[in-house]
C-alpha cells in the first residue's frame, strides 16, 4: 500500500514539473510582450510629442515672421509720412525765403525769434524720425507750449498725434488729429489728420465712427493717397465684418 502511494505521488510530481516550466515560460513571454508593447507605446508618445514640438516651432516661426513684417510695414509707413512732411516743409521754407522780410514777420507771429521755433520743431521731428517716440512727444508738446502761433504748429500737432499713434495710444492720438482738423482747417495737414483720425478710431474699435470718418476722407479726397488709404481700410473693415 505504501509503495502504491509513493508511486502515485512520484507520478504526480513528475507531471507537475513540466507544467510549472511551461507556465513560467509563458509568464516570461508575456512579460517580454508587455515590455515590447510598453516600449512601442512610449515610442508612439515620443513621436507625437516630437510632432507637436515641430508644429509649435513652425507656428512660432510664422508668428515671428508676421511680427517682423508688421514692424517693417509700420516703419515704412512712418518713413513715407516723414518724407512727405520733409518735402512739404522744404517747399514752405523756400516759399518763405522768397518773401520780403516784413511779409515773413507778418506770417510768423511767434514771440520767440523765427529760428528758435524752426530749430525746436526740427529737433522734435528728428526724434520722431529716429523712433524715439516718448522723447519726441515731450519735444512737440514743449514746442507747442513755446510757439503756439508758429507756422509749424499744425505740423507739430499732427506729428504729436503720430507719435502717440506709433505707441498705440490711440485715444490721445485721436484727440491730436481731431485738433488739427478743428484748429487749423486751412493747414496742408488736414487731409492726413482726417485719415489718421479714422485709423485711430479703428484702433479704438469705434467701428461706426471710424467708418464714417474714413468714408468722408475717401469722398473728400478722391484720387489721392489719403483717399486710397481710406478706401483700403474701409475694404478691410468690410472683410472683417466691422
Per-residue pLDDT tens digits for 178-203: 999 999 999 999 999 999 999 999 99
What's the DSSP call for residue 221? S
- Is 100 a residue whose pLDDT tops 60? no
Residue 26 has what pLDDT?
76
Report the candidate in 195, 194, 200, 163 with the shortest Cα–Cα distance to residue 181.
194
**Residue 202 contacts residue 180 (beta carbons within 8 Å):** no
Note the pLDDT of residue 5. 45
pLDDT of 82 strictly over 70: no
For 203-212, the pLDDT digits (tens) are 999 999 999 9
Average pLDDT, the chain: 78
Percent of the chain having pLDDT more than 90?
A: 49
pLDDT at 53 over 60: yes
The answer to whether residues 139 and 108 touch, using CB atoms and an 8 Å cutoff, is: no
Residue with more model confidence, 127 or 36: 127
Please provide the DSSP assignment of 95-152 as one string. HHHHS-HHHHHHH---SS-HHHHHHHHHHHHHHHHTT-HHHHHHHHHHHHHH-TTSTT
What pLDDT is attached to residue 57?
75
**pLDDT of amino acid 48:** 76
At residue 77, the pLDDT reads: 58
In this prediction the pTM is 0.58
Higher local confidence (pLDDT), 57 or 164: 164
Q: Is it the case that residue 174 has pLDDT exceeding 90? A: yes
Q: What percent of the chain has pLDDT over 70?
A: 69
Helix or strand run (H / E) with residue 186: none
Long-range contacts of 9-18 (CB under 8 A, 24+ apart): none
| pLDDT tens string 106-165 | 333 444 444 588 999 999 999 999 999 999 999 999 999 999 999 999 999 999 999 999
Please tell me the class of the 99-240 domain.
mainly alpha
Please choose, from the candidates 200, 198, 237, 203, the residue with its C-alpha nearest in 3D space to the C-alpha of residue 218.
198
CB neighbour burial string for 110-132, b if at least 16 within 10 angstroms, e if fewer: beeebeebbebbeebbebbbeee
d(CA 147, CA 120): 9
Enter the C-alpha cell of residue 36.
Answer: 515590447
Amino acid at each position: 500500500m505504501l509503495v502504491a502511494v509513493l508511486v502515485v505521488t512520484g507520478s504526480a510530481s513528475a507531471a507537475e514539473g513540466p507544467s510549472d516550466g511551461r507556465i513560467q515560460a509563458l509568464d516570461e513571454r508575456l512579460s517580454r510582450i508587455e515590455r515590447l508593447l510598453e516600449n512601442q507605446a512610449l515610442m508612439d508618445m515620443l513621436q507625437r510629442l516630437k510632432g507637436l514640438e515641430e508644429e509649435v516651432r513652425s507656428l512660432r516661426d510664422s508668428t515671428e515672421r508676421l511680427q517682423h513684417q508688421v514692424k517693417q510695414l509700420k516703419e515704412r509707413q512712418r518713413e513715407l509720412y516723414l518724407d512727405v512732411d520733409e518735402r512739404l516743409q522744404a517747399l514752405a521754407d523756400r516759399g518763405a525765403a522768397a518773401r520780403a522780410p516784413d511779409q515773413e514777420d507778418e506770417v510768423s507771429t511767434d514771440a520767440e525769434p523765427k529760428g528758435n521755433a524752426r530749430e525746436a520743431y526740427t529737433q522734435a521731428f528728428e526724434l520722431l524720425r529716429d523712433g524715439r517716440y516718448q522723447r519726441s512727444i515731450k519735444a512737440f508738446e514743449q514746442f507747442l507750449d513755446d510757439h503756439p502761433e508758429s507756422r509749424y504748429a499744425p505740423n507739430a500737432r499732427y506729428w504729436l498725434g503720430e507719435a502717440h499713434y506709433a505707441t498705440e495710444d490711440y485715444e490721445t492720438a485721436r484727440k491730436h488729429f481731431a485738433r488739427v482738423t478743428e484748429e487749423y482747417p486751412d493747414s496742408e495737414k488736414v487731409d492726413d489728420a482726417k485719415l489718421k483720425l479714422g485709423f485711430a478710431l479703428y484702433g479704438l474699435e469705434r467701428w461706426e465712427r471710424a467708418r464714417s470718418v474714413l468714408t468722408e476722407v475717401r469722398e473728400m479726397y478722391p484720387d489721392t493717397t489719403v483717399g486710397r488709404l481710406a478706401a483700403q481700410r474701409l475694404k478691410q473693415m468690410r472683410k472683417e465684418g466691422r
